[in-house]
Amino acid sequence: MAAVGGREEPAERPLVPRERPRSYYGLPIVRRPAWTWEVPLYFFTGGTAGALAATSILARWSGQHRMGRSARRMALAGALVSPALLISDLGRPARFLNMLRVVRPTSPMSLGSWTLAGFGSALGMAEAADLAGLPVAVTGTMEGAAGILGPILANYTAVLLGDTANPIWRAGRHLLPFVFSGSSLAAAGGALCLAGPEEGRPVSRRMVVVGTALEQAAFLAMESHLGPLAEPYRTGRGGRLARVHRLASWTSAVLVLAGRRSPLLLRLGGAIALGSSALLRQAVYRAGFQAVDDPSYLVESQGP
């Protein structure tokens, strides 16, 4: 309102009302991802397996051999499931093998495929060496290789998303790896709380709590950085999944802390931590679909 001669006059209204940007014929400006339901599940299994492999070698170095063996075997299970999910999405095994024909350092997909192949091979050889009773140096070498590749496997999927033209994934590419890292750490701790040895429970609890704190802090920082682009994380299916994930994540941290005196609460917290990590991948995945369906997100991401 503007004061004129002691009276307040209404502010001028724009001649053309502001509207959300639209595209020709209502079609998305950026094509929807061709990925199927297996992909976010692969993000979860690969990330959890990677964190477990890193935990395995650290546990061995600290003298917790039973925990290290349990973490390695859980990581091996994830390493077996992950290629099956990826091949199912691709349609036939030949397409996965074709990605291993060349190495492209600038391609997250190429590096990720080679990382997954090397990771699974190293874990398989470590398990075979352990079962055959070979010297600890042989098993440890293979475990060490998997432990090095594990963090790469846990994070490359976030880099892969940030390398696409999807506006919400690309805009959050600097913080999404921290979100996935925290989630993978919490999931690995949850798996060990659920099925790991008793001697490793204190470390497993800390993994869940630290992973949850890192994941939630990074997610909040990412939402703040995205500004209006963060709307898919608050509305629609992506928003619903994000809210359930956030509740489940903090619930798991509380339960594993309360599990110091109750193995039942510890296992329940571990199971919820695993489910929460899977929900995070689903929330990020679905939010990306919402972002390409509405042209306004892409237009806003091109602003100054």
Instruction: Please indicate, yes or no, if residue 27 is contained in any of the structural domains.
Output: no
Instruction: Please indicate, yes or no, if residue 20 is contained in any of the structural domains.
Output: no
**Domain match, 47 and 154 both:** yes
Section 199-221 average pLDDT? 96
* Residue after which a domain boundary falls, among 124, 141, 163: 163
Question: 267: domain CATH number?
Answer: 1.20.120
How far, in Å, are 66, 82, 85 from residue 72 at the CA level? 10, 15, 20
Structural Rg of the chain based on CA atoms:
23
**Domain match, 126 and 181 both:** no
Query: What's the confidence (pLDDT) of residue 25?
Result: 46
Contact call for residues 270 and 208 (beta carbons, < 8 A): yes
Of 301 and 296, which is predicted with more confidence? 296
Query: What's the confidence (pLDDT) of residue 302?
Result: 57
| Per-residue pLDDT tens over the stretch 190-206 | 999 999 898 889 999 99
Contact call for residues 136 and 5 (beta carbons, < 8 A): no
Section 98-111 average pLDDT? 73
> If you average pLDDT over every residue of the chain, what do you get?
86
- Identify the band that residue 16 occupies on the pLDDT scale cut at 50, 70 and 90: very low
Instruction: Please indicate, yes or no, if residue 186 is contained in any of the structural domains.
Output: yes
**Domain match, 153 and 210 both:** no
Pairing mode, if any, of strands 7-9 and 2-4? antiparallel
Section 84-104 average pLDDT? 78
* Residue after which a domain boundary falls, among 125, 142, 163: 163
How far, in Å, are 7, 110, 172 from residue 256 at the CA level? 65, 37, 30
Q: What is the pTM (predicted TM-score) of this model? A: 0.86
Instruction: Please indicate, yes or no, if residue 24 is contained in any of the structural domains.
Output: no
Query: What's the confidence (pLDDT) of residue 255?
Result: 96
6: left (phi over 0), alpha (psi -120 to 50) or beta: left
Range with top average pLDDT, 94-98, 237-241, 257-261, 294-298: 237-241
Instruction: Please indicate, yes or no, if residue 10 is contained in any of the structural domains.
Output: no
How far is the C-alpha of 137 from the C-alpha of 125, rounded, in Å?
Answer: 13
Contact call for residues 194 and 274 (beta carbons, < 8 A): yes
Residue 48 CB contacts under 8 Å (≥ 6 apart), including other chains: 78, 154, 184, 187, 188, 191, 274, 277
Query: What's the confidence (pLDDT) of residue 193?
Result: 96
**Domain match, 105 and 138 both:** yes
Lowest-confidence pick of 21-35, 78-92, 137-151, 184-198:
21-35
| Per-residue pLDDT tens over the stretch 176-186 | 999 999 999 99
How far is the C-alpha of 288 from the C-alpha of 169, rounded, in Å?
Answer: 7
Q: Structural domain tally of the chain?
A: 2
**Domain match, 119 and 236 both:** no
Would you say residue 144 has pLDDT above 70?
A: yes
Question: 152: domain CATH number?
Answer: 1.20.1630.10
**Domain match, 254 and 277 both:** yes
Instruction: Please indicate, yes or no, if residue 243 is contained in any of the structural domains.
Output: yes
Would you say residue 15 has pLDDT above 80?
A: no
Residue 252 CB contacts under 8 Å (≥ 6 apart), including other chains: 186, 190, 208, 212, 269, 270, 272, 273, 276
Q: In 3D, which of 278, 277, 272 has the Cα closest to residue 253?
A: 272
- Measured torsion, CA atoms of residues 221, 227, 228, 234, in degrees rounded to the nearest 10: 20
**Domain match, 152 and 49 both:** yes
**Domain match, 112 and 208 both:** no
Would you say residue 13 has pLDDT above 90?
A: no
**Domain match, 123 and 238 both:** no
**Domain match, 47 and 127 both:** yes
**Domain match, 47 and 109 both:** yes
Cα–Cα–Cα angle for 128, 131, 134, nearest 5°? 80
- Token pair of 281, please? 């991948």
Of 106 and 12, which is predicted with more confidence? 106
* Residue after which a domain boundary falls, among 103, 135, 163: 163
**Domain match, 202 and 257 both:** yes
Q: Can you give the residue range of the structural domain that contains 220?
A: 166-293
Instruction: Please indicate, yes or no, if residue 124 is contained in any of the structural domains.
Output: yes
How far, in Å, are 25, 110, 142, 190 from residue 51 at the CA level? 45, 21, 16, 11
How far, in Å, are 15, 16, 22, 296 from residue 19 at the CA level? 12, 9, 9, 9
Would you say residue 24 has pLDDT above 60?
A: no
Would you say residue 149 has pLDDT above 80?
A: yes
Instruction: Please indicate, yes or no, if residue 180 is contained in any of the structural domains.
Output: yes
- Identify the band that residue 112 occupies on the pLDDT scale cut at 50, 70 and 90: confident
